């Protein structure tokens, strides 16, 4: 199945906010809802008339048909890392018996290389060993790694000490600010599908503007800046007879889709909340929303799914002159779900 591939090469550190208070932690995935919100802010500068197409008036939930995007995941050189699917792994019994520590190591894996990801979603036999796993235990590949390859990871979390001063007493309070530092030839990538070429051209222009503006926290000091290094087609090998689909984005199902979710689904739920900063409005808290995490698996067939829902009504008295939405539409890949489970 073909998708459009975008690689983001960060030229400054990146901080992605989490649900935890403060700045002592950073997410490492640029979730699809965060990416969409940042894109819409830039879209309003380049193509303001399009916002009426995105967000019709008086809509409580909606589906934006013009494009679909995945969350952004790590890449290292030519290696793309996909989220670990919530799927059983078809690992021969003799391999697990010969590697007593394998099951424990599999649980700590966060990302699969593209080749391994394709094998898993097609329910192919996986003759994995501990030599396929990176030195930090979080990146799994489809072959034995050399010592150098095992040590190559896309990024590292760095804690930077800072202080905040009380404006009344001038007293300084120390705190730590966690940021992602990408290694050379590494960054984040995401996949996309477009309704037509016109929307793809607009999207690409907006994405380049976002790279110059920055994404994430601490943009005022230059964090979150990136270059769009590669825009190309990518073909993901998928099963000929899929039984389920896997989400590459955060997913908020429509009412109709929610009724079809049953015991055949495999997923993890994440709560998304936070504050809205828009124009001259005061910071306002958005309604919390529960969504399915990337890598979740559901029965049936789909290319995209989910909806975009309102999380805060406009409040003109607080200078918020528009409704605020949370993007919950998912880009998906077809998968064939097997029965064994060693991961």
pLDDT digits (tens, 9 = 90+) for 310-335: 888 877 877 776 788 899 999 999 99
Res 87: pLDDT: 94
Res 30: pLDDT: 94
Res 1: pLDDT: 85
Residue 198 backbone phi and psi in degrees, to 5: -65, -45
Quick one: tokens of 286?
């958005």
> CA-CA distance, 225 to 219, in Å (whole number)?
8
Res 278: pLDDT: 61
Average pLDDT, the chain: 87
Quick one: tokens of 201?
């051209």
Q: At what angle do helices 32-46 and 197-213 cross, to 10 degrees?
A: 100
Res 27: pLDDT: 76
Res 102: pLDDT: 87
- HEC sequence for 12-79: CCECCCCCCCCCCCCCCCECHHHHHHHHHHHHHHHCHHHHHHHCCCCCCEECCCCEEECCEEEEECCE
Res 176: pLDDT: 65
Estimate the share of the chain in helix, then strand, then coil, as percent rounded to the nearest 5: 25, 35, 40
pLDDT lower than 50: segments of the chain? 342
Identify the CA nearest to 175 among candidates 214, 219, 218, 223: 218
Res 76: pLDDT: 94
> CA-CA distance, 69 to 329, in Å (whole number)?
8
Name 214's Cβ contacts closer than 8 Å, sequence gap at least 6. Answer: 12, 222, 223, 224, 225, 226
Half-sphere exposure of 307 (CA within 13 A, CB side): 15
Name 329's Cβ contacts closer than 8 Å, sequence gap at least 6. Answer: 32, 63, 64, 68, 249, 251, 252, 304, 305, 306, 307, 308
Contact 166, 173 (CB under 8 A): yes
Res 279: pLDDT: 57
């Amino acid at each position: 199945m073909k998708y459009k591939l975008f690689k983001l090469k960060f030229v400054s550190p990146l901080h992605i906010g989490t649900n935890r208070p403060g700045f002592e932690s950073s997410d490492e995935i640029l979730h699809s809802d965060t990416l969409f919100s940042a894109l819409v802010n830039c879209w309003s500068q380049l193509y303001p008339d399009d916002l009426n197409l995105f967000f019709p008036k008086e809509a409580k939930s909606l589906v934006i048909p013009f494009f679909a995007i995945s969350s952004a995941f790590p890449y290292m050189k030519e290696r793309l890392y996909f989220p670990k699917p919530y799927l059983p792994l078809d690992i021969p019994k003799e391999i697990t018996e010969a590697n007593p520590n394998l099951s424990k190591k599999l649980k700590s894996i966060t990302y699969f290389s593209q080749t391994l990801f394709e094998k898993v979603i097609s329910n192919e036999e996986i003759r994995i060993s501990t030599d396929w796993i990176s030195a930090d235990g979080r990146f799994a590949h489809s072959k034995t790694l050399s010592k150098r390859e095992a040590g190559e990871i896309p990024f590292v979390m760095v804690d930077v000490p800072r202080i905040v001063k009380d404006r009344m007493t001038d007293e300084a309070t120390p705190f730590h600010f966690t940021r992602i530092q990408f290694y050379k030839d590494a960054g984040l990538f995401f996949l996309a599908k477009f309704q037509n070429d016109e929307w793809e051209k607009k999207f690409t222009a907006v994405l380049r503007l976002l790279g110059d503006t920055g994404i994430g926290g601490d943009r005022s000091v230059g964090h979150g800046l990136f270059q769009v290094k590669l825009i190309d087609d990518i073909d993901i090998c998928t099963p000929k007879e899929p039984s389920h689909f896997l989400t590459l984005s955060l997913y908020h199902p429509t009412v109709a889709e929610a009724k079809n979710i049953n015991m055949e689904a495999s997923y993890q739920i994440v709560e998304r909340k936070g504050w809205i900063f828009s124009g001259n409005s005061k910071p306002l808290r958005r309604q919390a929303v529960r969504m399915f995490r990337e890598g979740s698996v559901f029965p049936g067939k789909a290319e995209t799914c989910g909806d975009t829902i309102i999380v805060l009504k406009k409040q003109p008295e607080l200078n918020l002159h528009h409704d605020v939405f949370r993007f919950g539409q998912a880009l998906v890949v077809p998968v064939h779900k097997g029965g064994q489970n060693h991961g």
